[in-house]
Amino acid sequence: MLKIECPWCGPRHETEFRYGGEAHRVRPEKPDSLTDEAWAAFLFMRTNTKGAFAERWCHVNGCRRWFNVLRHTVSHEILAVYAMGEVPPVPGARKEGGQ
């Protein structure tokens, strides 16, 4: 079980949160103009990172706010917690808006 630091409420147990998948994915501006392959890539393909991974979490059973977490997918160590819209604070992580 993870102990996650909500930016508002402080450290809380994992059961209070809901996972929101990979962070910093940008929805294509004109999905109509994409090929089926490109649209499917946006919808279904994720990076499946081994190491530091930026992901979204929501404190659904607490303050109900979304935020980003940088988590090591092997050790589960939480390397950083940061606000929606912010760039991951640790070098080597995926950059904001990177596609």
Partner 1 sequence: MAKYENWLSPVAALAPSFPQGLEALPFCAQVNLRGNPGDPEFMSRVKGELGFALPTVPNTVAGRKKCRALWLGPDEWLIVEEGDARFRDAPEGALAAQLEQALEGLHHAVTDVSANRIRLELSGPEVRTVLMKSCELDCHPAVFRPGQVAQTLLAKAQVILEKPAEDRVHLYVRNSFALYVAEWLVDAFRYSGE
Contacts with partner 1, residue ranges (CB under 8 A):
8-13, 15-16, 61-65
Draw the binding track, 55-74, toward Zn ion (x: CB under 5 A; -: no contact): ----x--xx-----------
**Backbone CA torsion sign across 56, 61, 65, 67:** negative
- Residue spans of beta strands (DSSP E) within the chain: 3-6, 10-13, 18-22, 52-58, 66-72, 78-82
With contacts defined by CB under 5 A, name the span among 1-9, 18-26, 78-86, 91-99 that binds Zn ion.
1-9
Cβ 52 vs Cβ 89: under 8 Å: no
Give Cβ neighbours of residue 29 (< 8 Å, ≥ 6 apart).
Answer: none
The correct pick among 6, 52, 54, 93 for binding Zn ion (CB under 5 A) is 6
Task: Rank residues 1 and 30 by Cβ distance to partner 1 and give the closer one.
Answer: 1
Q: Which residues in this chain contact Zn ion in the complex, by CB under 5 A?
A: 6, 8-9, 59, 62-63
